[in-house]
């Protein structure tokens, strides 16, 4: 089958690197027949410590790449940092449905909290943008929010230190302000944090519900389809593009996606 025949349900996903594969994993779970093109901006990661202007510029370039080179019909901004800083700009510029992590993550947090005390963790840029805070406050004006930037979590996950004692200590240090805060919900506002889920839960205790925007984002994406894409006799097509080092992306990416990754290509013009 040609590309054009399949093109009606091609979802484009971008992230600063491998992290967005946690979102892709959830989308595959809900839409197992959709064709997906993933772009990881590995040459310019991490986004989490950069300015909103730079993150917005990168996000626009990533969207243009997916639209022009890969003719996507839906765009998923898997990166929480890019969603926090750039989704409004992207929605103004591009005329296709665009889903990010902020609104779905905020909605889920408001749905699960019982006492309105919600902690939000993410990169420095995500927390500084106030995007999750604004969205939650709009849905639940009396919410009491506890935003905490956790910049060391991303490198710990990428170095595969998930089960390391050092990681537990870092998590305890960042999340110490939550002790005695009465928080009942913790929003994991970064692509990498689902991989730390077990340790985070152990540190904060079972009484706090963890919200993963990756699953909420995938649910929002699946709602874009009145009928889920189906190719009865065809396997879905997954393509991966990166702006640097396809091999490194493949090796680490398989841990995030929990599946084999093949056909990773270097994107032109990055
Ligand atoms: N993907 C980013 C996010 O979800 C984390 C990695 C980065 O800082 O680029 O915020």
Does residue 126 line the site of ligand 1, with CB under 6 A?
A: yes
27-85: pLDDT as tens digits: 999 999 999 999 999 999 999 999 999 999 999 999 999 999 889 999 999 999 999 99
Question: pLDDT band for position 22 (50/70/90)?
Answer: very high
Residue 6 has pLDDT above 60, yes or no: no
* pLDDT value for 234: 74
The set of residues, in sequence order, having a beta carbon less than 8 Å from that of 227 and lying 6+ positions away, is none
Furthest-apart CA pair in the chain: how many Å? 59
Shortest CA distance to 146 belongs to which of 171, 102, 172, 180? 180
pTM of this prediction?
A: 0.95
**Ligand 1 atom showing the smallest separation from residue 191 Cα:** 4
The residue written with tokens 């040459």 in the block is: 43
Query: What is the distance between the alpha carbons of residues 95 and 120, in angstroms, rounded to a whole number?
Result: 31
Tally of CB atoms within 10 A around 99? 27
Do the Cβ atoms of 102 and 125 come closer than 8 Å? Answer: no
Question: pLDDT band for position 233 (50/70/90)?
Answer: low
DSSP string, 194-241: GGGHHHHHHHH-TTSEEE-HHHHHHHHHHTT-SS----TTS---EEEE
CA of 254 to the centre of ligand 1 (A): 17
Query: What is the distance between the alpha carbons of residues 170 and 156, in angstroms, rounded to a whole number?
Result: 9
Tally of CB atoms within 10 A around 73? 15
Does residue 241 line the site of ligand 1, with CB under 6 A?
A: no
Which residue out of 13, 17, 76, 149 has the highest number of ligand 1 atoms within 8 Å of its CB and is therefore the one to mutate? 17
* Cβ burial, residue 57 (10 Å; 0-12/13-18/19+): middle
Tokens representing 156 are 């710990």
CA of 149 to the centre of ligand 1 (A): 12
Shortest CA distance to 120 belongs to which of 111, 112, 109? 109
**Ligand 1 atom showing the smallest separation from residue 126 Cα:** 10
Does residue 147 line the site of ligand 1, with CB under 6 A?
A: no
89-130: pLDDT as tens digits: 999 999 999 999 999 999 999 999 999 999 999 999 999 999
Does residue 123 line the site of ligand 1, with CB under 6 A?
A: yes
CA of 4 to the centre of ligand 1 (A): 32
- Residue 181 is given by DSSP the state S
Please compute the mean of the pLDDT values over residues 169-180 and round it to a whole number: 97
Residue 268 has pLDDT above 90, yes or no: no
- Chain CA centroid to CA 129, Å: 16
User: Which residues are designated catalytic?
Assistant: 79, 190
Shortest CA distance to 247 belongs to which of 27, 66, 18, 59? 18
Does residue 212 line the site of ligand 1, with CB under 6 A?
A: no
Cis status, amide bond into 19, omega within 30 of 0: no
Residue 248 has pLDDT above 90, yes or no: yes
- Chain CA centroid to CA 183, Å: 23
Out of 22-36, 96-110, 131-145, 228-242, pick the least confident.
Answer: 228-242
Does residue 191 line the site of ligand 1, with CB under 6 A?
A: yes
Question: pLDDT band for position 139 (50/70/90)?
Answer: very high
Tokens representing 194 are 């689902």
Do the Cβ atoms of 55 and 85 come closer than 8 Å? Answer: yes
* pLDDT value for 4: 36
Dihedral sign computed on CA atoms, order 92, 93, 99, 100: negative
State phi, psi for 204 to the nearest 5 degrees.
-85, -15
Please compute the mean of the pLDDT values over residues 188-198 and round it to a whole number: 97
Do the Cβ atoms of 101 and 126 come closer than 8 Å? Answer: no
Residue of the nearest CA to atom 6 in ligand 1? 46
């Amino acid at each position: 089958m040609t590309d054009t025949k399949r093109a009606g349900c091609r979802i484009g996903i971008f992230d600063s690197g491998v992290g967005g594969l946690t979102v892709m994993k959830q989308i595959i779970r809900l839409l197992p027949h959709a064709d997906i093109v993933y772009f990881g901006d590995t040459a310019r990661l991490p986004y989490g410590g950069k300015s909103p202007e730079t993150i917005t510029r990168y996000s626009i370039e990533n969207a243009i790449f997916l639209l022009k080179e890969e003719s996507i019909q839906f765009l998923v901004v898997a990166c929480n940092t890019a969603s926090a800083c750039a989704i409004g700009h992207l929605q103004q510029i591009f005329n296709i449905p665009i889903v990010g992590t902020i609104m779905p993550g905020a909605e889920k947090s408001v749905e699960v909290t019982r006492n309105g005390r919600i902690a939000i963790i993410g990169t420095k840029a995500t927390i500084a943008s106030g995007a999750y805070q604004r969205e939650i406050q709009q849905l639940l004006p009396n919410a009491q929010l506890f935003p905490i930037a956790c910049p060391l979590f991303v490198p710990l996950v990428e170095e595969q230190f998930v089960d390391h004692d050092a990681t537990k200590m870092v998590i305890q240090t960042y999340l110490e302000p939550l002790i005695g805060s009465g928080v009942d919900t913790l929003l994991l506002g970064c692509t990498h944090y689902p991989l730390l889920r077990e340790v985070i839960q152990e540190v904060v205790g079972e009484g706090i519900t963890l919200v993963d925007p990756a699953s909420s984002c995938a649910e929002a994406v699946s709602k874009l389809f009145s009928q889920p894409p189906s190719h009865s006799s065809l396997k879905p097509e997954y393509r991966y593009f990166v702006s640097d080092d396809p091999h490194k992306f493949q090796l680490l990416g398989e841990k995030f996606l929990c599946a084999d990754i093949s056909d990773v290509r270097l994107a032109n013009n990055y």
